[in-house]
Amino acid sequence: MEEYQKDNQVEGTVSSIIYQNEENGYTILRLDVKGEEMTVVGPMPGVSPGEYLAVKGRWVRHATYGVQLRAETVERRLPQGLKEIYHYLASGAVKGVGKATARLLIEEFGEDTLTVLEEHPEQLTRIRGISPKRARQIGDTFRQQMGMRLLMEFLTAHQLPLELAVPLRRAYGDVALEVLKANPYLLVGEEFGVEFSQADALALDQGVGAEDPQRLEAGLLFELAHNLNNGHTFLPRRKLVEATGVLLEVSGELLEESLEALERRGEVECQTVAGQEAVYLPALFEAETFIAQRMREMCQSELTPPRGLDKLIDQIQRRQHITYAPQQRQAVELAAQCQVMLLTGGPGTGKTTCLRGVLALFDAMGLETALAAPTGRAAKRLGELCSTEASTIHRLLETGFDPHTGRLVFTHDAYDPLPVDAVIVDETSMVDVPLMAALLTALRGDCRLVLVGDPDQLPSVGPGNLFADLIRSKVVPTVRLTEIFRQAAQSAIVRNAHMVNHGQLPNLRQNTGDFFFLARREGKGVVDTIVDLCRRRLPERLGIPADQIQVLSPTRRRGTGTRALNQALQQALNPPLEGKGERRFGDWVFRAGDRVMQVKNNYDILWREEGGTRSGMGMFNGDIGDIRSIDGEIITVDFDGKIVEYSPDMLGELEPAFAVTVHKAQGSEYRAVILAALDGGPMLMSRGVLYTAITRARELFIIVGDDQAVASMVANNRQTRRYSGLRARLAEEE
């Protein structure tokens, strides 16, 4: 799809609606502009044939549909004149009014028809066949449409996204505009996703004072919510007040008063934790305290191991043709004796062997066991390693709809627990506090839990430092595997991963085996080399096809970030061809054959199994697939056999994945990994990032970049401090 230069503002009458998504208002329509038909696409909820629109936007040429205007602002004007009013009503835009009724209304009320519909619907009973009940229904429908029009006008006037109109109406109904005017700060947050600065500017424009308690409280809540993205479960009171003071340019004294008001209303929780005056959002406070309480209960539960445990383990060894090392045997024995345990260790230390042993032991004990991991790729790998089915934690818990809150929730909880006797979770370092709380809530009182992971990898994207906190508390029974087995030790990937983890720089000149370093000191050289490795050298020389190579970068931006790498790799591996479907979204052109990643959890997206009868709901952050086809407005993606169709309004959930950040690669394993190591911020060019990148590779790991950059990463063991109270809560005396 290409940009098309033309006047970016048009006015005309909607002649027809080609497509309209009622959930989010995304619309494709035909606009009659002085007798010329034009296609307009974008968020235009509730727009109907006959309406007069003034649209500003960007012209593009669609491969299938030709030139179209992508709407950025839309002004709606009520139909004027008898002809326009009739066309509007006859289109079916107002429920309960068709062509015949539209004609009768025009004959009776003339150009006052729309005024009657909005202000005096009871007069509609003058029309034969319209009962008082039907008159009220027609009037209600029309007023709803007028409310949507006024809401869109307000959003346009204040340069806010039109996409907000539908969720606002869904949340607040007919009074959405009034509610928004009264509290513009409701736009801040996950549901609406508006930047605080935008909501704040709107509030000030609506007459909210700079020191108004509403503004101060909104600022405090924003800082708390914003810092969840930095991994914190709480903020120290002093830091919260200081940060909010800078944000709002107000004194700390005023903010202290607002914080106390929030605490009185239960909108924040304040508690001293590990010597800190901690301020929590209630949901995080409840999740953290629940995890600590439940974990302590499980640790105190004494289980009787099965009779003849030693003989049972010996039998498992014979069946699996293996002899456990002392630490591995200890792990299997501990699983028989404890309701909850942690299993940790770096690459090559035999975690998978232990997992298989624990699973075999649970089977021998007659326990129904569920295997789970935080991401789809990690779950798939876990299932393959253990030769049984594994799922994501989200899919294990299943999703449902809460009619009271209007939000998606997990189906399995304390009232409907998981129908299993044991749960084994791999890659636990990626699990955040809310997700662990949800999992623990869904376990039966006697259910066993085995948590497996590597605390030296990057922590979870979400709040908390859960796995590390559990280990460091020394409350939960733990087996740490430290012995690197001979076969694994022969791998330079394994050896160098452990060297990096201990702060030692690998020998970058020793390019043998499965670990290589290619020196490049400028961005273009790094990108060109990576492209050549993916397109030619690895497929031709080592027989590793491009779709089994994953390019990683510490950063999204800069010359060797994922953005630049994705553009270069797409051009090399999946160039445009006549007949190959394309769809522009933002700065990216999606193309059939592209590798893409789902970048947010979407619990209600539908998928179907390729070639089968199974279907389900939910795709999750980190799931990687390939674009199967682009047919008109629909992009079809294959996620390892799960087929998902994306409409244009859903494309913000997809990103190109020829190259991904190291953080996004957590929990995944690839046949070959190439890491761009040249530049990036100090928090990204770190030892943990390098260690995590190396441990993603199964057969081959290549660094392309500057040896000084690699040395800096090894030396940089800085970790952003995460404010979390879990470790302290676990260690508390009862």
Region of poorest pLDDT, from 62-71, 536-545, 692-701: 62-71
pLDDT computed for residue 1 by the predictor:
44
Would you put residue 622 in left (φ > 0), alpha (ψ -120 to 50) or beta? left
Region of poorest pLDDT, from 34-38, 91-95, 122-126, 588-592: 91-95
pLDDT computed for residue 667 by the predictor:
80
More confident residue, 680 or 468: 468
Region of poorest pLDDT, from 72-81, 495-504, 569-578: 72-81
Q: What 3-state class would DSSP assign to 154?
A: helix
pLDDT computed for residue 733 by the predictor:
55
Integer angstrom CA distances of residue 31 from 39, 83, 120, 420, 593: 6, 16, 31, 57, 33
Q: Which of 300, 321, 698 is nearest to 494 (CA)?
A: 698
Assess contact for 404 and 360: CB atoms under 8 A.
no
pLDDT computed for residue 407 by the predictor:
63
Average pLDDT (130-140) is 88
More confident residue, 434 or 485: 434
Count other C-beta atoms under 10 Å from residue 326's C-beta: 8
Query: 5 falls in which pLDDT band (50, 70, 90)?
Result: very low
Using one digit for the tens of pLDDT, what is the confidence trace for 277-311?
999 999 999 999 999 999 999 999 888 888 889 99
Q: Provide the pairing of β-strand 515-519 with 697-705.
A: parallel
The alpha carbon of residue 631 and the mean position of all alpha carbons in its chain are separated, in whole angstroms, by: 25
pLDDT computed for residue 401 by the predictor:
62
Assess contact for 656 and 595: CB atoms under 8 A.
yes
Q: Please tell me the pTM assigned to this model.
A: 0.82
Cβ-Cβ contacts under 8 Å for 704 (sequence gap 6 or more):
518, 520, 526, 529, 530, 533, 674, 675, 676, 677
CA angle 157, 163, 168 (to 5 degrees): 85
Q: How does the average pLDDT of the chain come out, rounded? A: 89
Using one digit for the tens of pLDDT, what is the confidence trace for 86-115?
887 887 777 788 888 889 999 889 988 888
pLDDT computed for residue 35 by the predictor:
85
Average pLDDT (392-412) is 78
Using one digit for the tens of pLDDT, what is the confidence trace for 623-677?
889 999 998 778 999 998 889 999 877 888 899 999 999 998 888 889 999 999 9
Q: Is the pLDDT of residue 604 over 70?
A: yes
Radius of gyration, CA atoms only, the chain = 29
Integer angstrom CA distances of residue 37 from 9, 14, 351, 450: 14, 9, 64, 63
The single-letter code of the amino acid at 396 is: L
pLDDT computed for residue 404 by the predictor:
60
**For 602-628, b where at least 16 C-beta lie within 10 A, e where not — what string?**
bbebebeeeeeeeeeebbbbbbbbbbb
More confident residue, 274 or 277: 277
Using one digit for the tens of pLDDT, what is the confidence trace for 170-221?
788 878 888 999 999 999 977 788 899 999 999 999 999 999 999 999 999 9
pLDDT computed for residue 2 by the predictor:
46
Count other C-beta atoms under 10 Å from residue 493's C-beta: 22
More confident residue, 387 or 517: 517
Q: Which of 148, 24, 57 is nearest to 647 (CA)?
A: 24
Proportion of the chain above pLDDT 70, given as a percent = 97
User: Helix-strand-coil percent breakdown of the chain, rounded to 5?
Assistant: 45, 25, 35
pLDDT computed for residue 406 by the predictor:
55
Query: 521 falls in which pLDDT band (50, 70, 90)?
Result: very high
Structure-block tokens of residue 147: 């409310």
Using one digit for the tens of pLDDT, what is the confidence trace for 147-183?
777 888 888 888 888 778 878 887 888 788 889 999 9
pLDDT computed for residue 65 by the predictor:
66
Between CA 703 and CA 530 the distance in angstroms is 9
Region of poorest pLDDT, from 153-162, 257-266, 317-326, 330-339: 153-162
More confident residue, 326 or 4: 326
pLDDT computed for residue 201 by the predictor:
93
Cβ-Cβ contacts under 8 Å for 249 (sequence gap 6 or more):
210
pLDDT computed for residue 3 by the predictor:
45
List strands edge to edge, sheet with 659-661: 515-519, 697-705, 670-677, 549-553, 659-661
Q: Provide the pairing of β-strand 390-392 with 369-373.
A: parallel
Assess contact for 163 and 25: CB atoms under 8 A.
yes
